[in-house]
Each structure stands twice: as C-alpha cells, then as structure tokens.
Amino acid sequence: MSQGSHALGGWRVALRLARREAWRRKAQTALMLVLVCLPVLAVAAAAVVWRTASVSGAEGADRRLGTSAALVSGSGTSEVLQAFDPDGITSWVSEDEHVATAEEVRAVLGSDRELVPFAQEYLSYRTDRGVGDLLVTETELANPLTDGLFRLEEGRYPRTADEVVVNPVTAGRGPGLGATLTVLRRTTDGETRTDLHVVGIAASATTRKEAVAAVLPGALGTPDGQPSWLVGGAPVSWDDVRALNAVGLLAASRRVLSDPPPDSALPPEVTTDEPVDQTKVTALLLVVTMVLLEVVLLAGPAFAVRARAQARTLALVAAAGGTPAQARRTVLASGVVVGVVGGLLGVVLGIGVGAVLVPVAQRFQGTWFGPFEVPWPLLAVVACFGLAAAVLAAVVPALSASRQDVVAVLAGRRGEGRPSRRSPALGLVLIGAGAAAGVLGSRASGSSPVLVAASALLSVVGMILLVGTVVALVARIARRFPMSLRFAARDAARHRTRTVPAVAAVGATVAGVIALALALTSQQAADERDYDPQLAHGYGAVPLDATADPAAVQQVLTERLPGAAVEAVSGLRSDDPEAGLEVTFQVGDEPLVLPTSGVFGTGQLVAGTAPAALGLSPAERDRADRALAAGRVVLVRGNDAFGPEVSERVRVVLGERIEDLPAVTVRPPGGLGAASAIFPPTLAADLGLPVATTALAVAPSISAAAQEDLSETLASVPGAGTLVVERGYQPEDAVRILQWVLAILGGILMLGGTLTATFLALSDARPDLATMAAIGARPRTRRRVAAAYALVVGLAGALLGTPIGFIPGIAVSRPLSRGDDGSTLLAVPWPLLGLVVVGLPLLTAAAVGLCARSRLPLVARID
C-alpha cells in the first residue's frame, strides 16, 4: 500500500472516530458548534442583507425603464460619449448646443419604434404646513412601457392633464386621494401654480422617503432640461447606443445594463481606473484578521477539553504502537467534523436570519432593496472560513495530544510542565514587530492595508505567546488571594492548554474592540475638528433676499416659535441689482479673502455690537464690541481665510471706490465665519453704504421637528431663505450604530469566551471539586470557584488585550484622522475602555457565580 493511500485511510478512520466522539459527547459538541457557527451565521446574514440591498444594473432596469427597451435622452450637444450606464461617466465631444427630437431617435432606432415621453424634475407643492419639495414624473403611466415605474396602491393613474397620482409620503404631508395638489414652479420670471386632482396613491420604484408625484406629459408646462423618451420594440444593442451618442443622445439600454459588453468596448474617454480606498481595505483586513483569530481562540478551549477527554484513549493507542501523527490526526479530525457541520449550519441559519433582517434594514434605507438574493460564492467562502477556524483551533490541542506522557496519562495523573522560556521572548519580539508594522503601514505617504493587518496579527500572536507566562505569574502571586481565587488561579496554571486559548480569546476580543473603537473615535474626533459651525450653538437664522418682507417673516417665526427671541440682522445688500455693492478687502495691494457661510444673507454686517448668533468667544466678542464703538471695521477671519495679516488698517474696495479704514481682526471658532466683516452703523452711513435687513436670527433652541415644519412654512413666504439651525457636530447615525454594535459584540464575545472557559474548567475540575466536597466544603464554594474562574480568565485577558489593541488601533487611526496639514490625532473612548476592561469581567464573574450550580459533585478521582 502506498504512503498516500495509508494516510488517506488513516484520515478515514480518524474522521469516523471524531464523528462517533461528537455524537457521544453531544453537549460538548453543541458548544463547539455554537462557537464556530455564530461568526459564520453573522457574516452570512450580513452578506445576504448586503447583497439584497445592492441593486445591480439588471435588477434596477425595471425601476428606471419600466418594460421599455431603453430610456433615451438628449445630452444638450450634437455628439457625446457614454459608459454602459449613462448615469456614470459621460464625455461631451461637441460643444454645440442642441435640443434632441423624437425624429432623431427614430432615425437611429427605426421609424416603427414607440416613444413615450418621460421627464423628471424637482418642483414644490403646498403641504398642510407650507411648501415642500416634490419630485414630479411626467409620463403616461397607463402605457404598458411604464409598468414598473410605480406601484398603484389606491385609485387609478391619470387620464387627463389635470389629474395626478402621489406617493404615501406626499399624501402624509399634504393632499391625499380625492384632494387637490397645488404644484409650484419657481423661475426667474416668477411663480406659476397648477392645481391637480389626486386620483391615485402609488409608490415610486426608486425612492421611499421623498415626496413624489406623477402626471401626464405637458400637464405642468414644458419641463426644464433635455427631453427623454421610453423606447419600445426590440432590444437596443451597444452599437445602437454608440449610434445614438453620435447624434448627441444618451441611452440607458436594458440589454446593455443586464449584459454589458467587455470593458474594451468602451471609448477611452469614458474609461477610468477607480482608486482603491486604502482605508476601507485596511479596516476590512483588520476585521477579517481579528475575527479569524477570535473564532480560533474561542473554540480552542473546547477542543482542548475534547483532547483531554480522549487522552486515555490516545495513550492506549500510543502504548499499542500508535504514532504521534495518528494522535494529531485524531484530534484534528474533530476540528474537521465540527468545522464542516458548523460552517454549513451557520450558512443555512445565516440565510434565514438574513431573510428576517432584510425588511428591518429596509426601513432605514431611502431606496428600495432588490429582490432577495443569496450570494452563494461568498457564502461558500464563509463556510470554508468556519472550517479553517475550527481546524486551526484544534492544532494546539492536537500537538499537545501527540506529546503527552503516556505513562502519566495511563496512571491518571494530570497537569502540565513549566511554560516555555522561549515563548515570552518570542512574543515580545512579535509585539515589537507588530508595532513597527503598524507605524510603517500608517505612514504619512500612504497607508498599507497589508502592513496594518500584519500589525494586528503579529501583536495578537505575540500576546498569545505571553499568556502562558502571565497565567503562571498570576498563580505564583495568588498565595495571598482568598481560597476561591487562589484555587482558580492555580488550576488555570496547571491546565494551560485549556486556559491559554480562553484568556487569549478574551484578550483578542478586547484588542479588536479597542482597535476598532480607537479608529472610529479618532475619525469622529477628526470630523469634529474639521467641522465649521455656521452660527453660535443652538441659534437659527433665516436669510432674506431683496424682495422679502422682514415683518412677515418675523411674524411666522413668532407664531411658530412662541417665546423665542427673534433679532433682525442688518448688512450690506449684495443681491439687489439696484442697491447691490461688491465689497472686497485688501492689505496694501494683496487681496484678503474671508470665506463666509452665508447664513446671514450677506458677508458684511452693519451693527453696533457683534451679534450673539455670530458665535464669537466672550473675549473676541468684547474686543469686537469695543472696536465697533470706536468706529473700526471688525474683520471676521476664520481658519479658511487667506491673505496677509491685518495690523490696524484695511483697504476696502466698495465698487469703484477704495477706502482706507481702521480695522480689528477677530477669529470665530471654526474655519468659516457667519460674516466676513462688521461695519459700525455710523461708518456705514458716512460711506453711504446700502444697509438693509438681510436675515433674522433666532435664539436657542429649535427642535428638529419644529425646524422641519417651520422650513415648510417659510418656503411659502416670498423672499425667505432656508432656515439654518446650528446644532454643532453631529456624528453620522451609522457611526453611532457601529459604536453600539462594537460594545455589544465585544461584550457578547467576552462573555462567550469567559463562560466557555469557565464551564469547561468546571467540567474538567470535577475531581478537585469532589475532593472539596469530601473534606466538608460548603455548597456555595462551587459558586465562588466558578466566579473566580471567570474573573481570572476575563480580567487577565482584558489587561493583556488592552495594550495590544492600541497597536493596530493607532495604525488605523492615523490615516483616518489625518488632516490637510498632515497632523493626526488619537481619541481614546475611555467609557468603552472602562466597560470592556473592568466592567465586563466583573459582570461576567457575578453572572457566573449566580448561575453556577451550588451542589458539589461526588465523583471518584485517582490523583
């Protein structure tokens, strides 16, 4: 028999033994399956939700094209080039202005083609509170070519030009079925109103949260922009699309979107190599690395206990002439069996969980998901990931099983030798190498995802090599601990094969949570650093144009915000053609550029004191007030301003006049100022400057709901701009959710690792607990021992993982927080750190102590 056949036969026997052992120890096997299955389930469910949420060109064709073969629209020129999807890259070949016609479409695609006019534009409509934005689709919804653009829920589609269908969002804030919808079109020539009768409620196929309406073509006049048509008939090929481009037409073809030609068919002008987001790749590799390590370490204690349970059988095999390779193969086979079953089970359950989560995730998305889709190739990789993690988790127990002392095992003696002296030295070297890789991977010239992932892997592996020494050190200093803690610490040191993976799993969890938390918190701190407030915190402002009636706008604010302090803000009118004045500043002959947020309707204010809404610090505001009282111009210079510094005077260019005026510079807290300058009223009068009320400022505070309603009301007041409310830096909801997910996931993993190690240790320590019962230990001693096990494992792992998490955490934080000047920052989430390092180990110990059985076992033991 050849060596390969012998090895294959050996694996066949080992797998059969592993299957029988798994069936015999059902509870232990179930625990091992849970440890492998849960990460696979989570990743599989996330993959299903992600793939369903992602809408490909073929899946989105019905939403854009209905049942038509293509959507053809004018480009505005006589020749154009496009990508397969015209919403992507487009290149205008000709600069001639050209309006497309239906005859041009038929000249290319055939005279027998059915063309249905199609247009979309944003207009306004009357709501119950004022005026809101409305996306209007103008087409023939009764035509079969438009099937799929809307889904009729109530009523019918329009049949005449004075009828309209609206989506539920529009009906919820304004007219419903049977009511009148007033659509407003605002142009430079004025405002036109069109009253339409609502004959149906229909959901748009493209958006869920916007107000949408649909009318017949021409119902609202001639739409802005180039004309478009839905084209019926035979499929439109890529050659047809190129022919349409040659006459200045863009085309979204169903055939091209569903089955695009090779990229070589694209014109060079519309091809581009999109740069890879190194930061996202870095974070992804870091997550994958940490998750793989986490699964391996979590499952490691279970395989260690399984190997210990098989120790006597393996010793008998060795005594009968079995080789170490056969012993390793037997333990590794358990990893294969558990990995295969856990991977497949995790994928199946993940698909089910994903199906449940899809409608939940849909509620947070503004657009509709695609059809339910299972990414089978990706899930196959995920299942293999679970198999690899289980096999890797069984490697260390397999090596230990092949090296066990046969005589000691057959005699019933337990315990392990001293920890290796080389392991901690190697661990420190690896941690140093990980730190170096993190520094190199996050250098200013460009981050390297591979080096950052390597820093995480090297530092965590280095930590694992230190765990055995740390556990032995804890046992050595435990002589002054209470009995339960002393027993737990010494038993953990005696059975390092079981303890080291558990402590390392907790440490790896803490390291991963801290690394990702550092990255998120630092990026959030960098975003807050770069945030430019438009006003003082809590203040609101409504800019007014030259046609506005300040009294009417103030009346709306007073009615909608009872008790709020409303202050008129005066400034130089720059948007009035008759009284407008362009104002620039110079120091000598050099221009001084002072960017503003524009929330006051002008960049130059006129006031005797600096408005509180400007957001200056008390010291800067006092300095500005004193300068204004002395007749000086106050220049508001943010970080984004550029040009020479101002000492005492500034040259102000007022149209065709140049004035040399005394000036003082103040600095707002952000990069932009709400205004660029403040002129004293007396100086403005002496210079004959056009002064008017350019905005109304509202003192704090305005709730988000009140702001939404007030914005709709103000939209109906002529000349009133958009209400702006300064709420300070607001982190994205996704970041907040991710922070909570990190805390919860870290807690679950820490709890799982600690509980796994604790209950496996209690199972393995039954003979010791029996000895305690025999010599009169009280029942609650078992609870104390269980809590002590949990505390030793959890606290040791947390204290080891904390500094290790800073290595990849800093490496990822640097590129995420790098500013324009190259500076970086590190923000430490201290509450999360305290919760993970101290709170969770204590909570886990308390939970274990309360849940553990108090009755001590009565079993026989040999040693």
Burial class (CB in 10 A: 0-12, 13-18, 19+), 91: middle
218-277: per-residue pLDDT in tens?
Answer: 898 877 778 999 999 999 999 999 999 999 999 999 999 888 888 888 888 777 655 555
d(CA 83, CA 766): 70
Any domain includes 106? yes
Domain check: are 580 and 703 in the same one?
yes
Any domain includes 10? yes
Domain check: are 507 and 643 in the same one?
no
SS3 596: strand
Domain check: are 719 and 740 in the same one?
no
d(CA 383, CA 377): 10
Q: Of 691, 707, 725, which marks where a domain is finished?
A: 725
Q: What's residue 115's pLDDT? A: 94
One-letter amino acid for residue 507 of the chain: G
Any domain includes 273? no
Domain check: are 719 and 734 in the same one?
no
Say if residue 701 is preceded by a cis peptide, omega within 30 of 0.
yes
CB 249, CB 100: distance < 8 Å: yes
Q: Of 701, 725, 749, which marks where a domain is finished?
A: 725
Domain check: are 737 and 855 in the same one?
yes
CB atoms inside a 10 Å sphere around CB 599? 26
Domain check: are 518 and 560 in the same one?
no
441-467: per-residue pLDDT in tens?
Answer: 777 555 577 787 788 888 888 988 888
d(CA 840, CA 475): 22
Q: Which tokens belong to 701?
A: 């505070």
Any domain includes 686? yes
Domain check: are 719 and 735 in the same one?
no
CB 675, CB 571: distance < 8 Å: yes
One-letter amino acid for residue 522 of the chain: S
Any domain includes 628? yes
Percent of all residues in the chain with a pLDDT value above 70, rounded to a whole number: 83
Any domain includes 44? yes
Range of the domain at 311: 1-55+280-405
Domain check: are 189 and 89 in the same one?
yes
pLDDT of residue 411 exceeding 80: no
CB atoms inside a 10 Å sphere around CB 417? 7
Residue 412 binned pLDDT confidence (cut-offs 50, 70, 90): low
Q: Of 725, 743, 766, which marks where a domain is finished?
A: 725
Residue 1 binned pLDDT confidence (cut-offs 50, 70, 90): very low
CB 147, CB 67: distance < 8 Å: yes
- Number of domains composing the chain: 4
Any domain includes 274? no
DSSP assignment, residue 839? I
Any domain includes 825? yes
Global pTM? Answer: 0.69
Domain check: are 249 and 157 in the same one?
yes
- Rg of the chain, C-alpha, whole Å: 36
DSSP assignment, residue 392? H
Q: What is the mean pLDDT of residues 152-181?
A: 91
Q: What mean pLDDT is reported for the chain?
A: 82
Domain check: are 27 and 72 in the same one?
no
337-357: per-residue pLDDT in tens?
Answer: 888 898 899 889 989 888 888
649-667: per-residue pLDDT in tens?
Answer: 888 888 778 899 999 999 9
Query: Which residues pair with residue 484 across a beta bridge?
Result: none
Residue 371 binned pLDDT confidence (cut-offs 50, 70, 90): confident
pLDDT of residue 52 exceeding 50: yes
Domain check: are 222 and 154 in the same one?
yes
Q: Provide DSSP, 135-183.
A: EEEES-TTSGGGTTSEEEEEE----STTEEEE-HHHHHHS--TTSEEEE
d(CA 437, CA 442): 9
Domain check: are 789 and 761 in the same one?
yes
Give CA angle at 301 (300, 306), nearest 5°. 100
d(CA 386, CA 407): 36
Q: Which tokens belong to 228?
A: 């478009």
